[in-house]
């Protein structure tokens, strides 16, 4: 059987046709054999099919003799945390994040919450799962004796998870009241936010949460939680304005990404959040290394260097960012796509740590978020990522490089092609999974030049 649900970095598929309980069972057995695992953590998001897929995974793991620790309803980063906190051999989160409601999937990590992608084991797990066949009875392999079957236990690591999160901030700096709109999108973030709220209250921190779309609901009555889409931002923006909040935060379904809104209800592009988080960490650890990707760079590099840090560029994508962070012992790595990675979180991405640090920064600087961000947008205006469907991505990238490289100050191939001039630069890269190229343009303090060059590039690409 050809398992098309295996992607470059995770497992995702349409329910029934690409992913079901039988496939989940086989993936679990292959995962256990690949890791030679003894203990595995399981968690699942709020989707209606997550419990049954998680049960199938648990059966497959246990039939391989693996002890299963079930976190229940949990975000992806809670699986990451439990995996390294409990010292187990790996973890699986059942989630389709922001994909359509008829999809689900799995995110897999090994010991220490290290990622498993196509070239570090996912392809091997796929091959093993494709070659397996079982005649299951009530979801179990009847050939496996109860004496050799792994155990099953429900565990609660959320108190330890929240305690870990609170270690990233200095609550003494929360010296003024903050009002935050938190939009869980009816996903898995709600219970974790309740636990963080309780921790704030216990510590006497004057933070008030305005909760919207808070209750976990797998039918997603307010739409699939994907705040990166413009049409999904109104509810958070309107709540910020209505309640005169200091900041709005919205999450995707498994809350490994958060998206921020300033006190004016304006959505803040992830590029500028990377710079803010770099500054926040460098105030705590001077001289630290910060990892960033090549799509948009100037603002990040300036904020890192002006705060006494070292900026290190690497290819976009969680596997590349995490690997380079380990090599450099970097304290933080950020992507403009709202994925933020933290050394003390086993180099994993988190959707909770970023907003905690930004909230602390608001208090420490005594400025609204709009003021902090406006300074950076004015200094380095950017186009945001523009996606274009093309028939031959390599040919388009080559043609654009030929057209622009002759008079450039620098041409870089870390990820796609980045071409730099004195006052503006751009990055053009191909998608790994679809016939799409992604364009990002920025300038030094000249929004008109940025827009002009963006339009020029788009016209050139469309003419090819």
Judge whether residue 296 has pLDDT over 80: yes
Convert the pLDDT of each residue in 114-147 to its tens digit.
999 999 999 999 999 999 999 999 999 999 999 9
Checking if the pLDDT of 39 tops 90, the result is yes
Residue 272 burial class via C-beta count within 10 angstroms: exposed 0-12, middle 13-18, buried 19 and up: buried
Structure confidence at residue 155 (pLDDT): 98
In this structure, the strands spanning 332-334 and 39-44 are unpaired
**Mean pLDDT across 68-95:** 98
Q: What is the DSSP string of 204-251?
A: T--EEEEEES-S--TT-TT----TTSGGG-HHHHHHHHHHT-SEEEEE
Residue in the block written with tokens 């919207």: 212
Question: How do beta strands 178-183 and 207-212 pair?
Answer: parallel
pLDDT bracket for residue 281 (50, 70, 90): very high
| Pairing relationship of beta strands 340-342 and 332-334 according to DSSP bridges | antiparallel
pLDDT of residue 98: 87
Residue with tokens 């500028």: 272
104 membership: H or E segment, kind and range: strand 103-110
- How many CB atoms neighbour CB 123 within 10 A? 14
Q: What is the pLDDT of residues 383-413, one digit of tens each?
A: 999 999 999 999 999 999 999 999 999 999 9
Does residue 362 register a pLDDT over 80?
yes
Q: Are 357 and 290 in contact (CB under 8 A)?
A: no
**Cβ pair 337, 345 in contact under 8 A:** no
The single residue of 50, 97, 383, 418 carrying the catalytic annotation is 97
What pLDDT is stored for residue 1 in this prediction? 86
Nearest CA-CA partner of 132 in 39, 228, 22: 22
CA distance 362 to 358: 6
Catalytic: 382?
no
Distance from C-alpha of 16 to C-alpha of 367, rounded to nearest angstrom: 51
Distance CA 341, CA 338 (A): 10
Question: Average model confidence (pLDDT) for the chain?
Answer: 97
Q: Are 201 and 87 in contact (CB under 8 A)?
A: no
Helix (H) / strand (E) element for 26: namely helix 21-35
Contact 37, 111 (CB under 8 A): no
Maximum CA pair distance of the chain?
72
Contact 191, 216 (CB under 8 A): yes
H or E element that contains 93: strand 90-94
Q: What is the pLDDT of residue 7?
A: 92
pLDDT band at 433 (very low <50, low <70, confident <90, very high): confident
Cα–Cα separations (whole angstroms), residue 378 to 3, 151, 427: 48, 57, 20
Residue 92: exposure state from Cβ atoms within 10 A (0-12, 13-18, ≥19): buried
String of DSSP letters for 111-176: GGG-B--GGGTHHHHHHHHHH-----BTTB-TTS-TTTSPPEEE---HHHHHHHHHTTS-GGG--S
Model confidence pLDDT, tens digit, residues 17-29: 999 999 999 999 9
pLDDT for 155-198, tens place per residue? 999 999 999 999 999 999 999 999 999 999 999 999 999 999 99
- The predicted structure's pLDDT at residue 319: 87
Domains of the chain: 11-157 (3.40.120.10), 176-265 (3.40.120.10), 269-370 (3.40.120.10), 379-463 (3.30.310.50)
Q: What angle do helix axes 369-379 and 353-365 make, rounded to 10 degrees? A: 100
């Amino acid at each position: 059987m050809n398992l098309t649900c295996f992607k470059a970095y995770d497992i995702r598929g349409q329910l029934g046709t690409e992913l079901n309980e039988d496939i989940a069972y086989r993936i679990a057995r292959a995962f256990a054999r690949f890791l030679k695992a003894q203990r595995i953590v399981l968690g699942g998001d709020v989707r209606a099919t997550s419990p049954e897929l998680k049960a199938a995974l648990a059966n497959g793991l246990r039939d391989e003799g693996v002890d299963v620790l079930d976190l229940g309803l949990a975000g992806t980063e809670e699986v990451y945390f439990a995996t390294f906190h409990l010292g187990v051999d790996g973890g699986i989160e059942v989630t389709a994040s922001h994909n359509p409601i008829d999809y689900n999937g799995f995110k897999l990590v090994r010991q220490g919450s290290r990622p498993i992608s196509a070239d570090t084991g996912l392809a091997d797990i796929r091959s093993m799962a494709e070659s397996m066949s079982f005649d299951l009875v009530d979801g179990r392999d009847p050939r496996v004796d109860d004496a050799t079957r792994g155990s099953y236990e429900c565990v609660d690591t959320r108190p330890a998870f929240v305690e870990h999160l609170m270690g990233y901030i200095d609550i003494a700096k929360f010296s003024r009241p903050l009002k935050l709109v938190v939009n869980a999108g009816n996903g898995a973030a709600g219970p974790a936010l309740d636990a963080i709220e309780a921790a704030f209250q216990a510590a006497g921190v004057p933070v008030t949460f305005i909760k919207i779309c808070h209750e976990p609901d797998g039918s997603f009555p307010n739409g699939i939680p994907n705040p990166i889409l413009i049409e999904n931002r109104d509810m958070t923006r309107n709540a910020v304005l209505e309640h005169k909040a200091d900041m709005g935060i919205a999450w995707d379904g498994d809350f490994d990404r958060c998206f921020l809104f300033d006190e004016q209800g304006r959505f803040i592009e992830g590029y500028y959040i990377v710079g803010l988080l770099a500054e926040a960490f460098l105030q705590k650890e001077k001289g630290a290394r910060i990892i960033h990707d090549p799509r948009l760079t100037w603002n990040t590099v300036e904020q890192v260097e002006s705060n006494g840090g070292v900026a290190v560029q690497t290819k976009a994508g969680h596997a590349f960012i995490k690997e380079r962070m380990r090599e450099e012992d970097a304290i933080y790595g950020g992507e403009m796509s709202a994925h933020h990675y933290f050394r003390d979180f086993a180099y994993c991405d988190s959707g909770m740590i970023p907003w905690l640090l930004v909230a602390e920064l608001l208090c420490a600087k005594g400025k609204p978020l709009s003021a902090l961000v406006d300074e950076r947008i004015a200094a380095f205006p950017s186009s945001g990522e523009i996606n274009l469907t093309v028939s031959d991505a390599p040919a388009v990238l080559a043609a654009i490089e030929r057209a622009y490289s002759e008079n450039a100050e620098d041409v870089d191939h870390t990820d796609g092609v980045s071409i730099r001039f004195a006052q503006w630069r751009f990055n053009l890269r191909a998608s790994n999974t679809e016939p799409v190229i992604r364009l990002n343009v920025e300038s030094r303090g000249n929004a008109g030049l940025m827009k002009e060059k963006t339009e020029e590039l788009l016209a050139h690409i469309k003419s090819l």
